Structure 1
């Protein structure tokens, strides 16, 4: 229990998986408690912006865990909101305190589910004989299946599920929209600051990166089998692969491991009649090194750079194009932009800034540089507005009236 109004259950094991393989439901005879592990990972590229996480969780491959935050474990049949975190498909975890859904659940009378999924090579290695790619995406699919089966026991309605995600999590939502197996597992979707240009990479390119990983692994652990080598050696090889990928591509934005195209890449057959919302933060690109050329690096920023152009190119224009395509496909679509620039922050309305307005607590965000010296009371006051809009969308398909600095419009 996280407070007088909500209960936080978990961590809960929702699936199991062999390394590089698709997940499967936890067998009925497997009654072990959750390990509480999160996927092995390097530090986040955005620690300088968000601040490093203040909570610590064991890292390991028994990481397919989630939490459920609910106002009550009753027959309330509340709307369910399933959260997929960002982190460039290489860092983050649903179990982190940043993603505590207590305020959203209590104020919105919704059930919030926050999901771990596999990251980096463990989640997205695409190489013949080892991994087919998209294991992390199929983890998310398995989590949605768990929600479908179990969420009524936590006061939620399995027929009223909204998926929402930020950055890499929003790209995951984009891919789930086109995944045939996900049809019927969720009914609304919110994409927050999705860099659509890197939604997926061709399988041939992913295989090249997979081969680089094996070459680097042979340096860090000579003779080791990638199926059994230590996670530490795999992360070391993954780090080297990231550097090699940056040198090859010239793009520090693209992670070395991420999704490959799904079997049916057109969303049109699956979105008709759905409610969708997308948006971005006005200065998303200030989170990255050189805002002028659109090349993020992960941390500081050029004081003379104007983030407007890169933010438009990376976020606003592609998302606007997607929104129009979704409308043509028969979806009901809403768009938002967050213009809030916290006092004392050099980053403005940066990437990830909406996160403390939706999820987490004062304690979780107390050292976040992107919040500057803004008092938590001001953060929470604006957060109530944003949380109300997200919960209203989950309940009705419409965020309702929202005051500045959150700007909203229907897409037609």
Structure 2
């Protein structure tokens, strides 16, 4: 990726841009005024994705390193257009992925919808979510996302965007991040709308004591100072900790390193009144679009599991509860389900299937297993319809009549 290159659709792709810096296990700091150093172009250190068999492997290669707080921008023009802004937070179980990947090229969204698309890197794994006394408080990747949103508020007008009309969009772990940002006081006022794609909402955050215990397992496995250990050693200990957590818990979806509890929940039964009031203040009046893919859990199920039942348990039912809480809190919510099942794919409407409908190009998604043998022209035809709905929501707060293969799902508590 190069700076200020023009895509065939006359979309300017700018980046990578460093939006913040951070010492290891410290909160991010905004880039100092006058710091004109070029971005490293690095993405967060990470192992291969556990969903390579579904998505395929990324076709582009980026250096990995701790100077990874970089973002990219796709915009129709660097002018005073004041366009709606979509800020993308990738998935990957808080352990893999990057906003700079070609999978997440926002060029089609920007060109078709006359919007600005920002793809964000954030810290992953132990470097982003370790919770360990005297070393790391946890949630550093979440605070990276807050700093990226602050950068957008300050700088996006120079890229043709409207800082007062920002929609934060996340898929899977990125959707969990959006859920938490909706509750985080530091993020208040940084976005106007939110889209959550296939967010396993019941995995939002791990209890603090359990997070500390996993942190201690990580430290014992690493057997050296986490502040000075080299990155390969960090990743190796991270992997061993994940295997230990899986053996102990049996929870196949839950990563070893993820957000830590302590963020005020959305209002609901059993929450303290003052916490509910704080959370309600955060979400009252915002627009939210959330949903899932009809066969989301097929990629996570064990042989004895029923993917339909597990999708209902992990996505449909928890998201319905989420929608009801949003309605009670005064948010304006819309829900969807993606039913598209590509020809030639045994995975159906699997987790991540909406991604090539929203982002990337034919080349970026070439040979992706979840697309089967469906011609790119058909994928792009569905993609145009999906992108139009997302753009309409970012522009107005209303996705409009959802086009097939999207299904409009009623939000509990909303008439």
Secondary structure at the aligned position of 2:314 is classed as: helix
Name 1:221's counterpart in structure 2. Answer: none
1:59 is aligned to 64
1:91 partnered with 2:82: no
> 2:285 aligns to what?
273
TM superposition score normalised by structure 1: 0.94
Aligned length: 395
Residue 336 of structure 1 pairs with residue 341 of structure 2: no
Measure how far apart 1:404 and its partner are.
Answer: 1.6
1:299 aligned partner: none
Aligned equivalents of 2:291, 2:259: Cα separation in 1: 21
Shift of residue 4, structure 1, vs aligned partner: 3.4
Tell me how large the CA RMSD over aligned residues is: 1.0
Which residue matches 1:25?
A: 30
Match of 1:302 in 2: none
Secondary structure of the 1:365 match is: coil
Match of 2:127 in 1: 122
- 1:350, distance to aligned residue in structure 2 (A): 0.3
1:365 corresponds to: 365
Q: Secondary structure at the match of 2:367?
A: coil
Contact 1:179/1:262, CA 8 A, preserved across alignment: no
Deviations 1:254-276 (A, max 9, x none): 10000012442333221111110
Partner of 2:354: 354
- Unpaired runs of 5+ residues, structure 1, are 219-223, 294-305
Deviation at 1:233, TM superposition (A): 0.4
2-structure distance, mates of 1:61, 1:97: 20
1:326 positional shift: 0.3
Identify the residue that residue 394 of structure 2 maps to in structure 1. 394
Cα deviation, residue 2, structure 1: 1.9
Partner of 1:148: 153
Q: CA distance change for structure 1 residues 317 and 292 in 2, over 3 Å: closer, same or farther?
A: farther
Task: Measure, in 1, the Cα distance between the counterparts of 2:350 and 2:58.
Answer: 18
Question: Which region of structure 1 is more displaced relative to structure 2, 401-410 or 141-150?
Answer: 401-410
The secondary structure found in structure 2 opposite 1:92 is: coil
**Per-residue CA shift, 1:206-225, capped at 9, x if unaligned?**
1111111111111xxxxx32
Partner of 1:379: 379
Give the SS at the match of 2:91: coil
Q: Shift of residue 98 of structure 1? A: 0.4
- Per the alignment, residue 303 of structure 1 pairs with none
Distance in structure 1 (CA, Å) of the matches to 2:262 and 2:407? 33
Q: In the alignment, what sits opposite 1:285?
A: 297
Structure 2 runs not aligned, ≥5 long: 1-5, 267-278
Residues 291 and 281 of structure 1, relative CA distance in 2, 3 Å threshold: farther
Post-superposition CA distance 1:148-206 (Å, at most 9, x none): 00000000000000000000000000000000111110000000000112111011101
Which of 13, 21, 25 in structure 2 is aligned with 1:8? 13
> Which residue does the alignment assign to 2:243?
243
Aligned to 2:167: 162
Match of 1:301 in 2: none
Alpha-carbon distance between aligned partners in 1 of 2:81 and 2:110, rounded to the nearest angstrom: 13
Q: 1:178 aligns with which of 169, 183, 187?
A: 183
CA contact (8 A) 2:113 2:391 kept: yes
2:139 matches 1:103: no
SS state of the match for residue 252, structure 1? coil
